[in-house]
Amino acid sequence: MSNFVSSGEALAAAPNEPSPAALDWVRRLVSIDTTSHLPNLGLIEIVRDELARHGIEATLVHDRREGWANLFATVPAHDGARDGGIVLSGHTDVVPVAGQQWDSDPFAPEVRDGRLFGRGTCDMKGFIGTALALLPHIRETRLAQPLHFALSYDEEIGCVGAPHLIADLKRRGVRPAGCIVGEPTGMRTVIAHKGIHTYRCCVRGHAAHSSLTPKGLNAIEYAARLICHIRDIADQFREQGPFDDLFDVPFTTAQTSLIEGGNAINTVPAECRFSFEFRNLPNVAPETVIGRIEAWARETLLPRMRAEHPAAAIEFERLSSSPGLDAAEEAAITQLVRALTGERERRKVAYGTEAGLFAQAGIPTVVCGPGHIEQAHRANEYVSLDQLASGERFLRRVIRSLEADDGLAAEAERAALVV
């Protein structure tokens, strides 16, 4: 373990640029526009073919829509074993660039001032490209435990693709023992994040001429009451907790983000639709949050509405649900990543990742990857070259930790990563 811990010092002392192969792969991936509303299959097939070129077979898990797919591939141990080992996980989709003012083409990545600019460089094709660049090294390594690759679609719109990938692993009996999700953390270990849950609500009233408002039922006005109640719940969490001060926002949050309704200034609106989300601390059950919202709508608001018009209705639709992460400090993957990075601070973040999904499936997971979340999703998104270099060195150490008789990982540590 002492050899591992000292490797954290090497992260700072090593050269501050990635290998040409890593930079080329990141550029190649970024140049493919995989904004979430667009198919990602072209990128997935490029990765599948590259894996095949190195003798690694990939499984594609397709969405019901044509053109979207997850990918999972295993580099087996030298004895053919496929159980246990570590998953390197990343999402292939990126957020839109519409409405953003870029100084260069977001899908023609370029290096300026020690930074690689382009959509997805930070979130999170930098991690994926660096991992793919190490395929020759992985194939040359005599692995004592397998190394897995997991690439998903539509993470940015609510972790839509990863559940199908994980369900396929269960069906096929694939049992990794640990997972590293390479979201941008500045190459620091993140052990917890909030859950993210998004909903759409439709409030149905009754249309009438605005001169005859008592004959109608104003859906916008009642939707506003429900939106204010959601804000009241958010305020209660902010004032009363529970709290976890390791998070930058140490309480559960909720907000309404989209709203539409009505069709004319002189018509009582018959419908109002709005979308809202809440982000819960890992120890706050999401069912209790949405339960409070739905119960108030059903028991308090709807009777008032139906007293005005019997056809009134309030309908909720869940758009996405991604669980929070709360990694066990004693888990082998947590200790391994801490040892390989050489840092011990306990970090928890408000943004969400697919890590909670892997953990919920029984695969201990942490988050660690190149880049900083502050550079993600914005115009002129970038990842610094020194972050890519640190990520590449980190992944080389992950590979080495799985190497047979490498002299670095204690047998007990290696055994702990076997199911």
Domain count, the chain: 2
How big is the chain, counted in residues? Answer: 419
Question: pTM of the entire structure?
Answer: 0.87
Residue with tokens 């590259």: 50
Name the residue range of residue 287's domain: 196-322
Spell out the per-residue pLDDT of the chain, length 419, in tens.
223 233 343 444 356 899 999 999 999 999 999 999 999 999 999 999 999 999 999 999 999 999 999 999 999 999 999 999 999 999 999 999 999 999 999 999 999 999 999 999 999 999 999 999 999 999 999 999 999 999 999 999 989 999 999 999 999 999 999 999 999 999 999 999 999 999 999 999 999 999 999 999 999 999 999 999 999 999 999 999 999 999 989 999 999 999 999 999 999 999 999 999 999 999 999 999 999 999 999 999 999 999 999 999 999 999 999 999 999 899 999 999 999 998 888 999 988 999 999 999 999 999 999 999 999 999 999 999 999 999 999 999 999 999 976 444 444 344 444 43
pLDDT given for residue 4 in this prediction: 29
- From 267, 299, 322, the end of a domain falls on 322
65 in the same domain as 21 = yes
96 in the same domain as 116 = yes
pLDDT given for residue 344 in this prediction: 86
pLDDT given for residue 2 in this prediction: 29
66 in the same domain as 52 = yes
- From 267, 300, 322, the end of a domain falls on 322
221 in the same domain as 334 = no
200 in the same domain as 186 = no
Sign of the alpha-carbon torsion through 338, 343, 348, 354: negative
- Token pair in block for residue 243: 């709290």
239 in the same domain as 106 = no
| CATH at residue 177 | 3.40.630.10
376 in the same domain as 313 = no
- Token pair in block for residue 407: 């002299």
pLDDT given for residue 405 in this prediction: 63
Instruction: Tell me the one-letter amino acid at 283.
Output: N
Whole-angstrom Cα distance, residue 127 to residue 121? 9
Residue with tokens 């209705």: 313
- From 295, 322, 349, the end of a domain falls on 322
204 in the same domain as 315 = yes
Whole-angstrom Cα distance, residue 236 to residue 227? 14
| CATH at residue 261 | 3.30.70.360
337 in the same domain as 314 = no
212: exposed, middle or buried (Cβ count in 10 Å: 0-12, 13-18, 19+): exposed
Cα 216 from chain centroid (whole Å): 44
333 in the same domain as 313 = no
pLDDT given for residue 415 in this prediction: 42
**Other C-beta atoms within 10 Å of 418: how many?**
16
pLDDT given for residue 343 in this prediction: 83
The pLDDT tens digits for 70-108 are 999 999 999 999 999 999 999 999 999 999 999 999 999
How far is CA 351 from each of CA 71, 118, 347, rounded to the nearest angstrom?
Answer: 24, 21, 12
189 in the same domain as 220 = no
β-bridge partners, 325: 193
